Amino acid sequence: MNDTNTKELTTLWAPWRMEYIISEKPGECIFCIPTSANEDKDRLVLHRGKEVFVIMNRYPYNNGHLMVVPYQHASSLDDLKATALDEMMRMTSLCTTFLKEAFRPEGFNIGINLGSAAGAGIKEHLHIHIVPRWAGDTNFITVLGEVRVIPEHIVATYEKLYPLFNK
């Protein structure tokens, strides 16, 4: 029933968030990952390069939200070798190619947040965000309700992207 005095309650289920809420938080940097590929699927690592790797954002803004991360623990671009910077940009370009193939986005947000004031959630280990975008993907629920609706389960997205990175 909906009248002028009653507001209907909408429920959005996000059961995968409970895993994060109750999990023990790591004391170490989440981007300083083991060099072994044994845990790559659990960690959502899609590709390992010489100096950088590609990982899915476990709490994405949109389906296909990827990050390109140097193996070197660094908070500043100045701290990285030129070869790592080059590989980061080449890998970012490759990510957009594969995301276009898998999801046909209409655009991308690509960026690096350096430092807390710039919005870095993990300021100690820099990384590039690649977020696919579609017209209308930010609507009232995101703006007013501060809720994101991710239409595809993260494991399904991983399984769609992994073969593209590992041809």
**Catalytic residue positions?**
127
For the four alpha carbons of 72, 76, 82 and 87, in that order, the dihedral sign comes to positive
Distance CA 97, CA 100 (A): 5
The first and second tokens of residue 33, run together, are: 């990952």
Distance CA 56, CA 78 (A): 25
Instruction: Tell me which DSSP letter residue 45 carries.
Output: E
Instruction: Tell me which DSSP letter residue 38 carries.
Output: G
